[in-house]
Amino acid sequence: MIINKNIVIERSGKKPILLDSFYPESKENQPIIIFCHGYKGFKDWGAWNLMAKSIAEAGFCFIKFNFSHNGGTMENPIDFPDLEAFGNNNYTKELDDLNDVLNWTQNHFKNNKWVNTSQICLIGHSRGGGIAIIKASEDERISKLITLASVSDFGTRTYTVGNLEEWKKNGVKYVLNGRTKQQMPHYYQFYEDFKANEKRLHIEPVEKQLKIPHLIIHGDNDTSVKVDEAYSLHQWNPDSILKIIEGADHVFNTKHPWEQENLSPELKIVTDSIIDFLK
């Protein structure tokens, strides 16, 4: 297994992106899997490394990255030392980041016999699921889509967190991170960017238009993103495959840090379902 951690993608005029790749030297023409983390997430959260290795061992090139404004830095990619960047994040920045990761991936692996750059699957967790759905609908390079505990709507989340007038007046609002105890800033630009791109960021019509296979995975014990959102996605796209994991929470019964050597039983079901779908 070749594992390259913390590769830096430098970008002109934009914050760099930190990326990991995993692939076995046992099978040629491996499809590419690109994983998008969620809100208050990062590529090394919890058991994501174990999941990446498991999927790579099944014969896939697995790539995961930190969104450029997720609050991590090149030196400290875990947790949120850069709250200013976090506050300036928005959905279109994340779509732009994902596009640059796709470009980098195709360029980096173009002469690599182990990796097939014409077969790319996106996996998105939580908010990253919404980003992956939109990107998969816009970009013909994507051949398959998997969402884990995905949101089905960005609009209600953007409008309802706190008082809009107060947010506009103050220019910032704060959300407590229960794990790190940080007050995470959200600048008003987040709302302005959403309104300016509202049509593009509306997940329902995007899901209805999807022409590629979509596997929707959700836990029935998810209190962060209700399982109803998975049913909505499946209703909008009846050709999708819906898998509900019994007893699974928003992160499939894992946590950060994850110090065990094995996946949780629920995340093991998720990982096996991903591999079956990809094969």
Say if residues 173 and 166 touch (Cβ distance below 8 Å): yes
**Assigned domain for 114 exists:** yes
How many other C-beta atoms can be found within 10 angstroms of the C-beta atom of residue 9? Answer: 18
Report the pLDDT averaged over residues 132-148: 98
Fill in the amino acid letter for 34.
I
* Residue scoring higher pLDDT (26 or 4): 4
Structure confidence at residue 157 (pLDDT): 81
Comparing C-alpha atoms, which of 107, 134, 129 is closest to residue 32? 107
Comparing C-alpha atoms, which of 53, 51, 43, 65 is closest to residue 1? 53
The per-residue pLDDT for range 231-257, each reduced to its tens digit, is 999 999 999 999 999 999 999 999 999
**Assigned domain for 17 exists:** yes
Structure confidence at residue 156 (pLDDT): 84
> How sure is the predictor about 91, in pLDDT bands with cuts at 50, 70 and 90?
very high
**Assigned domain for 57 exists:** yes
How many other C-beta atoms can be found within 10 angstroms of the C-beta atom of residue 123? Answer: 29
At a CB cut-off of 8 Å and minimum separation 6, what does 114 contact? 23, 24, 25, 27, 28, 29, 30, 61
At a CB cut-off of 8 Å and minimum separation 6, what does 242 contact? 216, 218, 230, 231, 233, 234
**Assigned domain for 183 exists:** no
**Assigned domain for 211 exists:** yes
**Assigned domain for 108 exists:** yes
Mean pLDDT of the chain: 96
Q: Cα(237)–Cα(247) distance, rounded to whole angstroms?
A: 25
The pLDDT of residue 222 is above 60: yes
Comparing C-alpha atoms, which of 133, 158, 127, 157 is closest to residue 234? 133
> Which residue reads 């103050």 in tokens?
170
Comparing C-alpha atoms, which of 87, 90, 71 is closest to residue 79? 71
Angle CA 27–98–276, to nearest 5: 40
- Here the CATH number for the domain that contains residue 19 is 3.40.50.1820
**Assigned domain for 268 exists:** yes
- Count of domains for the chain: 1
Strands, DSSP E only, in 177-245? 183-187, 214-219, 241-245
Report the pLDDT averaged over residues 29-44: 98
Tokens representing residue 252 in the block: 């499939």
- DSSP annotation string for 92-119: HHHHHHHHHHHHHHHHHTTT-TTEEEEE
The per-residue pLDDT for range 143-174, each reduced to its tens digit, is 999 999 999 999 988 766 568 889 999 999 99
DSSP 86: H
Say if residues 32 and 105 touch (Cβ distance below 8 Å): yes
**Assigned domain for 192 exists:** no
Q: What domain range includes position 261?
A: 2-160+202-278
